[in-house]
Amino acid sequence: MRPKNKILALASLKKTIARERSKGKTIAFTNGCFDILHYGHVSYLQAAKKNGRVLVIGLNSDASVKKIKGPQRPIIPERERAGILAALECVDYVTIFKEETPLNVIKALKPDVLIKGADWKGKEVVGSDIVKANGGKVELIRYMPNLSTTNIVKTVVKKCAG
């Protein structure tokens, strides 16, 4: 499938997910800003795709990223971030959400597996109650410390200033 065809509005994605479920597919969902795509992101998404799951990414919109990360972010605009993610073989669908959390997307899609990085261990994962109430599970995937967009930005600023 062409990357641009993987980027769907929530209403279209909901219909697409219903078709995938009717084929017996397991729907996995994760979310994030994915501002500057790096190795940590890619390895995380590849791990999330395991067992032939349909992997859906909820991508924070530009406005959402600004609220979470501050006025200097995002570095990459949402349409470009969505296109980069959609180009990855392990990603099946991408939807952009405007809220600070993907709660509305999770409510709409009711994924079978909700995935977050292991750095969320012991924290409340948004939407976990909805997923579990529908017979799904929450899965934490190994987190690679020091691999973050924030650290990359700090390194670039330091090198440019020095």
The pLDDT tens digits for 61-98 are 999 999 999 998 999 999 999 999 999 999 999 999 99
Which superfamily, per CATH, for 3-161?
Answer: HUPs (3.40.50.620)
pTM comes to 0.90
The CB-side HSE value for 51 (13 A sphere, CA atoms) comes to 8
Model confidence at 122, pLDDT cuts 50, 70, 90, reads low
* Model pLDDT, residue 139: 94
* Model pLDDT, residue 120: 60
Among 63, 65, 54, 5, which residue's Cα sits nearest to residue 32?
65
**What's the chain's average pLDDT?**
92
pLDDT tens-place string over residues 37-67: 999 899 999 999 988 899 999 999 999 999 9
Parse the chain into domains and list their residue ranges: 3-161
